[in-house]
Every structure is written in C-alpha cells, then in structure tokens.
Structure 1
Amino acid sequence: MQLFEHNPIKIYNSLSGKKETFTPIETGYVGMYVCGPTVYSNVHLGNVRTFMSFDMVFRYLKHLGYKVRYVRNITDAGHLENDADAGEDKITKKARLEQIEPMEVVQRYTVDFHNILNTFNFLPPSIEPTATGHIIEQIELISTIIENGFGYEVNGSVYFDVHKFNETHEYGKLSKRKLEDLIHNTRELDGQSDKRNPQDFALWKRAEPQHIMRWPSPWSDGFPGWHLECTAMSTKYLGEQFDIHGGGMDLKFPHHECEIAQNEAAKGKSPVNYWMHANMLELNGQRMSKSTGNTVNPDELLSGNNDFFSKAYAPSVIRFFIAQSSYRSVLDLTNDGLLASEKGFYRLMDAVNLLEKLEVSKASTININAWRQSCYDAMNDDFNSPILIANLFEAAKYINQIKEGKETISAEDLATLTNTMNIFVFDVLGLENVVKNDSGTDKLTGAVNVLIKLRQEARANKDFALSDKIRDELAEAGILLKDGKDGTTYSVN
C-alpha cells in the first residue's frame, strides 16, 4: 500500500477559494505544471520562494508514492515589457542593451537559474520545455482558437476575443474579476488599436522590422503571445486536463486567467483541477523593487555582500526561513528573521545529529507514532510547512530530553523517530545537514558557494580548464568539492 492511500491531502484551490480534498485524475499519478522564469535577468528571491514552495510540493507527493510528472517551463520569447501585448520583448531588450544575441541572454540566465536552484538543493523537474522549442504547437493552438470563433487576425497579429468568449464562458473566474469591471487600458501602444476591445490579448504578434526573434506563421513573421506558451506546453505534456497548476500570486491575472480561456476556447475543457499560488516575498516590510533599490538577489544573500543583512547565510538556512511560512502567506525577509531562523536551523541539525548517539531502553515514555502522524497531518493540510517545523522542534525537544535521561525510547521507536526526521527534514523540506561551527564557517560557506557558482558557469561555458583549476586549488586548501545529481557540496579536511 502506498502512503498516499491513507494520507489524503487538502489543497487550497485558488479557483474555488477553499481547501479541497486532492483527487488526481489518474490514481497514483500527478501532473503538475509550474510557470518558470523569463530568462532575461538573474533569478530573484521572489522567484526562488515560489519555486521552492513547489519543490516542496513535488518532494512530498513523491514521498507519498505518487508518480509525478512535474513540468516547469522556460520563457525565452514573447514576454513583453510590463506583461503587455505591445512594446519590446524583455529578452530582446536585454540583448540590445548588451549588444549580444537574444539566445546568448537566454543561455546566460538559464544557466544562472539552474545554478541558483542547485545551490538551494532543488530537485529538477521531470520536463523543462522552452517557448521557442514549441512554436509549432503554439501556431496549431492559435489556428484552433480562430476556427472555434474566439480569435481574430488584424494586420498579421492575432488576438483572443475576450468578449465573444465571455458570452458562453466565464472570463475572470480564477481572479474573481468581472469583465465589465476590468479597467480599460487606454494608453496608445503599438498595435493597441488593432484590438476589437482593450481586454483582448495577443495570441500572435507580427514582428516589426527591428524585432530579432521571429518565426513564420500563417499570419505573419512574428512571435507568440506570452500567455499562449504555457497553454501549449502544459497540455502537450500533461494532457488537456491535468491535476495541479502552480505559480506566483502575481500570475493569477492576467496570465493564468488567459491560460484558462485559451484552453476552454481550443479544447472545450477547463485545463486544471487545482490552481495553487505562492504569495509574495517582501524585504523589510516593503515590496521588492529594483527601481527603489529595495531588492537583494540570492548571490548577495549567500555571500553577505549587500546593504540589508549583517552576515552571509547558508542556503539551507534561507530554505528553512522560507519553509517557516505558509506558501500562501506574504513573507517578509528581514535580518532579525534570518538570524532567528539560523539559530532554529542549527538547533534542529544538532538534534538530528544526536539521534545516532541516543541510548535505547526497553520502553518509550513518549508516543512516537502519534508524533509521526502529526507530521503527515501538517503536510496533508495544504502542505503546512510551519506546522510541520513546529512538530520537528517538538521532536528536537524529545531528543534532548532522551539524551539528558528525562525521557526514554525503545529501539523500535528510535528507528521510527530517526526515519521520520530524515524524511521530513531532508527529503520533504529539502534541507541539507550543515553543522554549526563558530570559527568562521558562515563566511567560508558564502565564499565557497561563490566559487562553486563560478565553477558551474565555467563548466556550462565549456571552460573546463578554469573549472578544474577552481576544484584543484580548493582541494589544495583542504576544501573538497563533491558533484552529485542534486548539485555540488563541499567538505573541509
């Protein structure tokens, strides 16, 4: 019997606005799609928080025995500035400013994205498709939408007719917006006058002469709309209807709303049974913003090279900090919060590392099985990682009491306790066992992580001489790198 058979999960479904018992379309199998990054800049911590939430969901579903197909895309074309239907492509703009090819931008920041996620011990998705790799599928999808009467072509561009769609469907049901209440965009933008209505959105855009990224289509040489790619790729790999679609709260409208409309217009079906949205990450009580300077990227947080935090933090400390808040809550990143999380993290690691040193007795004075079930109950309740962590700290208290002789534990219960701690600390939360060392380990970790990232970039660029040089010189200094399927770790001789 698989664990999922007696661990029913409740998921907060953004579509219904309530928790619902999770019932996959096919028993034992889960299809999950999460909107990935637009690779025009370094991944920011808000993205990391979102992807970390769904990494935890992925890990827990796998632990329960589900066969999970996790699809997370890479947006490498079609995402225009300000999430609009007109203006300049974000990747093309970056390429123009740096005077390089757009695909150089894509490669550079895709590598950065993977490096950062490896640093934070993410599991890779099952499939990671790109928008540019699925142009044919997107063209076919547009043709179907036009044939079904919900799309129209004007001057080589194709738009989705929101008002026509709303006559027989409900546009706005995910974001709980009424079409008549939506604010009309009256700005004079390129191509805006081609639309029948301001609420219509682009399925295909005719490329202006200066637009570098373009593909032939029945309507023009151009590029697909941003919303279209996720509809094309999610349904290609997960089917016309699948179990879970995730992303950041900022994508609920218009991106996910448009995905629903496109799928219903093309396939006649609502594509997703459970919509999940991770909430925003703030910095010192304010929204992160590059324009105001209230932002910090992952490398700066890991190295300590920033103006907001008093020290560098290990990746697992940051991961632990994020897990201490529900994925649906706004999370405020502060120096005090990280310091407190660091203390808690190392206290938890100390307890885990004590397990193998505990002495056993004939009988236990604590109910380990009830505690174990409380860990599952927490995760079964919409992946409630804060409650799970509270339960793990309860176990840490037990462990210290057993060490001090205040409680006793049988060999069987100790095996259960050890197994459960390893499952939830390492397999589900994705933490790594880092031992606190007051002789400068934090600074060392930050410095070594920077060198590991430089080595990963060198390997991605096929500069193996530099990659080997970094590894060998670290080894000479007594720092050994170990490459594994989940990234690179280090140990000190």
Structure 2
Amino acid sequence: MPLSLYNTLTRKKEEFQPLRPPVVGLYLCGPTVYNDAHLGNARGPVVFDVLTRYLRHLGHLVRYVRNITDVGHLQGDADDGEDPVARAARAQQLEPMQVAQYYTTRYRHNMAALGCLPPDIEPQASGHITEQIQLVEEILANGFAYEINGSVYFDVPRYNEQYRYGQLSNRVVEELLAGTRDNLAGQSEKRSPLDFALWKSAGPTHLMRWPSPWGPGFPGWHLECSAMSRKYLGPEFDIHGGGLDLMFPHHECEMAQSQASDSHTPEARIWLHNNMLTVNGAKMSKSLGNFITLDDLFAGTTGSLSQAYSPMTVRFFLLQAHYRSPVDLSDDALQAARKGYRKLMNGLRLLPKLQALLPGAAPGGDEGEIPTPPGDAEVQKLTADLFAGLDDDLNTARCIASLFNLLRKLNTLATTPAALASVSPAVLTEAAATYATVVTELLGLRDEPRANAEELLSLTLAFYTEAKTAKAYDKVDQIRAALKGQGIVIKDTKAGVEWAYSEE
C-alpha cells in the first residue's frame, strides 16, 4: 500500500508522489522565539519527525526545513503592535537577538528531549532579510502589492481577481470582509482590511529594523516562510506543515505571496495540518492558568497536572492519536500513555529473550520442499499491519494499536513452547526486527532510565550498613566491589557510611 496524506488544499487523501524523486522537500513552521515552548508547540515537530523518518525508511532523500521566527511576528498576528521578541527584549533590557538565541537554544533542547531529529536546515528570519525584500519587490512588480508611508501591503482584492484568496482555509472573501470592521476613520493605511503587511516601516526607536527600498523597516510575519522555503526547497515543494491554527491567516497568506511572486505556484503541493491540543477540555491559555511549558511538564512544576511526565511519555501521548484529531491533556491521559509507552519498551526487552528461545540451524537431511509452519501466516500479517497505519495518512494511532497486537503474539510465543514451534525462525526474526524498527526508528521512542541514581545509591549504602552490622563480610565485600566497578568507593566514618568518587 503506497503512502497517502491528507491534503488540506484539496480536502482529501492523496497518494504521495514526490515532485522531484527521490528528493522530498518538507517545510514546517517553527516557533516564534520569545518564550518557552509549550506542549502545543511540540505536536507539529513530533508529527513531522515521524513523517521524515518514515519517508527516509521508504527510500526518499528528505530535505527537512523548520524555521525560527525571530523577527516580524507582530502582536496578535496583526499588522500593528510590537514584535514579541522586541517586546521581551525591551522588558528584560536585552538585545533582541539575546532573547531569540536564549529561547531558540531552549526550544532545540526540548525537541531533542522529545526524540525529534534536528531539521536538515533551520533558517532564521533575521538571517534572510535579502530574500524577503526580493520577494516583496516581485509581488510589487506583478501588481499585487502597494507601498504607503514606507510600508508595503499585499493587495488581497487585486489578488482575488486572478486567484482565490481563501482557497486553503475554504473561506470566502465576502464573508471575511463582512467579519471585519473597515476603519472608516482613516486610522488604517491599508486599502482593504484583508490586506496584510509584507514590509513594515520602522521608526528610529524600533529595536529591529533593516534598510530597504522603501526605507528602514522589518518584514511581515507571513513573508519569511515563503522566502525561506523557496530558497531551500525551490518555488514549489512537496509538503508544508503546521498547526491547524496557522492555516488562516498564515498559510493562506503564504500561498498568496508565492502565487503573486515570480514563482507563480501554490508554494507546496500538499498542505498538512495537525490538530490542536486542549487541557482538561479547555483551550490552553495563560489567562486560564493551564499554560504548560515542556520544561514544567518534564519537571512536574505545573499546577494543571499532579506529577512530572518524561519526554518519551509525552511523545507517546502525542502519537497515540492521529495527527488530525484533537488531543486533550490530563493526568489520566498521560498516565495511560505512560503505561502504553512502558508496554512497548517491555516489548523491546522481550525480543532478545525470544530470540534466545529459537532453535539453531537444522541439521542437513533429505532434500525436498519444507512445509510452511502453520503459525507463519498470522505472524506475517501482524508484522505487515505495522505499516498499514503509517501508509494511511501517517496514522500513528493505528500503528501503535498494531504494535500491541504483534506484541501480544510475541508474548504468547515466548511463554508457550507449542506456539513457538508453530512459527519458523526466519518469520519470527523478521517480526522481532520489524517491531524494533517501528518502535525506535520510525516512531522515535527510546528507552528512558527511570531509576534515580541517588536513591539507588542510598538504598545500596543501607544494605551495606545492614550487612556490616550483621557481620556478613562476604556481602560487604561484594557491595564494595560492585560500587567500585561503577567508580564509587565506600568510606566508613565516625559520622556513618559515606561514598565518594573513586580517584584511581
């Protein structure tokens, strides 16, 4: 079964065919780096990480680009107000790039903790001002933008004469206009309330500004992704992804910019959107007090949840639902995810034990056709089912359910000699290898150390003290030797038993 993906632009699942095989170009909208990443920021990167892994597994040469927005994303996604990076810099009396670099580093650390492979290219908006200015010049020259007072705006009504603004989000311009309040007092310099900024004029006190043909200013938020995706993936590429909340206006404006430029393309052939995340049924927001950063989630320092949850538990939690389905965060949901994740990890631990139960190579005998063992067909079907979910619009929930089905069979084979004898070693070896591949290489789940080293060491020293009190010197020596093998020495002092790092 070939891979199919749901295309937001066409509202249907389509068989994936690269534009320039075997190369596949992927672009994911990255974070605006003025604050710590929250759990909602993680869903897109986790989804695209699995997509990248699977495409590479299928033999494609993937170029995965995920941007960093460090300039141009105005407050409330509007065309006025202050850039949140500049606002944070002003509040903390720092350079804007200090703020951007600090939160970029923390974001990358969070993504690595979640098991996300780094993108092949991670461009920053502030490093691609030249490309963005060139894109604005093309749109102006093609008659789809206008300049006023040093700012340049995209002309949506003019664009809509030739294309259709709203084609991605399935919105109608007339309805959009009806939902806006046209500023009749003349406070807005835009010709239409639907027009959006390509370039904004900046006064001398603005912290982030660059020279341009229209005077000092900075790029609009939507412009950066169109310019950087074109630079690294070409005028049209395979897949553009992001959260459902970015479909309008961000992705809609991206598509319009690309079609109005010299590219004359919808930018991406497939637009892939992951659904949103709620907390106990309510939208995540700071005002509701349920805003959960990834660091708080990992450390357990959030009032919305009762305890800490490890990065792999969180990754499993996100993957156990299809990316187009909404996900609700709660203690019960995370605890269930932790159980499921640990079940898969126990499956990995089972594999070498199962392999050890297999018989060795059969001795030579009479030549002739060897009958297929009766259990092979079932195991082969369970193994093939692991990929059926991934092929069907990257349905990781279905893939995980298939993993549990195969794991139940593997557990039966490990505990029932008659069942094990009904499966050929080659089929069982293939099933075990595929299970490990899907869990670790495709879903990106890895085993996490769950033991606290300090607590284990304290417990070991307590056993040492008990053995010494009981004069069980063989156990005392055994514990000393075991700890020394770990680079730790035990010291008996007047104050009690202590430990130190071995200096040998």
User: TM-score category by the smaller chain?
Assistant: 0.7 to 0.9
Aligned to 1:459: none
Q: 1:477 to 1:175 in 2, by over 3 A?
A: farther
Cα displacement (A) at 1:227: 0.3
Cα displacement (A) at 1:372: 2.1
Q: Does 1:164 align with 2:174?
A: no
Decide whether the 8 Å contact of 1:325 with 1:331 is kept in 2.
yes
Cα displacement (A) at 1:191: 9.5
Residue 379 of structure 1 aligns with an amino acid whose one-letter code is L
Aligned to 1:263: 258
Residue 76 of structure 1 aligns with an amino acid whose one-letter code is D
Q: Deviations over 1:416-474 (max 9, x none)?
A: 1121111110011110023666xx68999xxxxxxxxxxxxxxxxxxxxxxxxxxxxxx
Q: 1:69 to 1:477 in 2, by over 3 A?
A: farther
Decide whether the 8 Å contact of 2:383 with 2:406 is kept in 1.
no
Aligned to 2:441: 427
Q: CA RMSD in A?
A: 2.2
Aligned to 1:450: none
Match of 2:397 among 369, 386, 395: 386
Q: Deviations over 1:106-152 (max 9, x none)?
A: 01000010110111111011111111111001111101100000010
Aligned to 1:374: 385
Q: 1:309 to 1:378 in 2, by over 3 A?
A: same
Decide whether the 8 Å contact of 1:314 with 1:442 is kept in 2.
no
Q: Does 1:149 align with 2:143?
A: yes
Q: 1:81 to 1:58 in 2, by over 3 A?
A: same
Aligned to 1:180: 174
Decide whether the 8 Å contact of 1:86 with 1:191 is kept in 2.
no
Decide whether the 8 Å contact of 1:398 with 1:407 is kept in 2.
no
Cα displacement (A) at 1:210: 2.2
Q: Does 1:318 align with 2:314?
A: yes
How far apart, CA to CA, are the structure 2 residues paired with 1:190 and 1:240?
40
Correspondence list, 1:195-210, <5 A: 195-210=190-205
Q: Does 1:353 align with 2:365?
A: no
Report the count of equivalent residues.
Answer: 440
Structure 1, unaligned stretches of length 5 or more?
A: 1-6, 445-474, 479-493
Q: 1:341 to 1:203 in 2, by over 3 A?
A: same
Aligned to 1:413: 427
Aligned to 2:287: 291
Correspondence list, 1:236-247, <5 A: 236-247=231-242
Decide whether the 8 Å contact of 1:25 with 1:243 is kept in 2.
yes
SS of structure 2 residue aligned to 1:121: coil
Q: 1:102 to 1:435 in 2, by over 3 A?
A: closer
Cα displacement (A) at 1:305: 1.8
Correspondence list, 1:86-105, <5 A: 86-105=80-99
Q: 1:27 to 1:43 in 2, by over 3 A?
A: same
Cα displacement (A) at 1:41: 0.4
Aligned to 1:457: none
Q: Does 1:341 align with 2:351?
A: no
Aligned to 1:75: 69
Q: 1:365 to 1:57 in 2, by over 3 A?
A: same
How far apart, CA to CA, are the structure 1 residues paired with 2:54 and 2:213?
44
Q: Does 1:107 align with 2:101?
A: yes
Q: 1:265 to 1:342 in 2, by over 3 A?
A: same
Decide whether the 8 Å contact of 1:349 with 1:435 is kept in 2.
no
Correspondence list, 1:188-227, <5 A: 193-227=188-222
SS of structure 2 residue aligned to 1:193: coil
Decide whether the 8 Å contact of 1:40 with 1:90 is kept in 2.
yes
Decide whether the 8 Å contact of 2:239 with 2:270 is kept in 1.
yes
SS of structure 2 residue aligned to 1:246: strand
Bigger radius of gyration among the two: 2
How far apart, CA to CA, are the structure 1 residues paired with 2:379 and 2:455?
38
Cα displacement (A) at 1:364: 6.1
Decide whether the 8 Å contact of 1:87 with 1:190 is kept in 2.
no
Q: Does 1:23 align with 2:37?
A: no
Cα displacement (A) at 1:360: 2.1
Aligned to 2:269: 273
SS of structure 1 residue aligned to 2:308: coil
Decide whether the 8 Å contact of 1:33 with 1:72 is kept in 2.
yes
Aligned to 2:481: none
Moved more, 9-18 or 300-309: 300-309
Aligned to 1:483: none
Residue 262 of structure 1 aligns with an amino acid whose one-letter code is Q
Q: 1:343 to 1:256 in 2, by over 3 A?
A: same
Q: 1:192 to 1:131 in 2, by over 3 A?
A: farther
Cα displacement (A) at 1:189: 12
Aligned to 1:470: none
Aligned to 1:455: none
Decide whether the 8 Å contact of 2:182 with 2:193 is kept in 1.
no
Aligned to 1:448: none
Residue 433 of structure 2 aligns with an amino acid whose one-letter code is N
Q: 1:442 to 1:147 in 2, by over 3 A?
A: farther
Q: Which has the higher contact order (CA 8 A, sep 6+)?
A: 1
How far apart, CA to CA, are the structure 1 residues paired with 2:428 and 2:437?
14
How far apart, CA to CA, are the structure 2 residues paired with 1:326 and 1:442?
39
How far apart, CA to CA, are the structure 1 residues paired with 2:438 and 2:185?
52
How far apart, CA to CA, are the structure 1 residues paired with 2:453 and 2:282?
31
Structure 2, unaligned stretches of length 5 or more?
A: 363-372, 457-485, 490-504
User: Identity rate of aligned residues, in percent?
Assistant: 48
How far apart, CA to CA, are the structure 1 residues paired with 2:89 and 2:14?
45
Aligned to 1:57: 51
Decide whether the 8 Å contact of 2:226 with 2:258 is kept in 1.
yes
Residue 407 of structure 1 aligns with an amino acid whose one-letter code is A
Cα displacement (A) at 1:348: 1.6
SS of structure 2 residue aligned to 1:180: helix
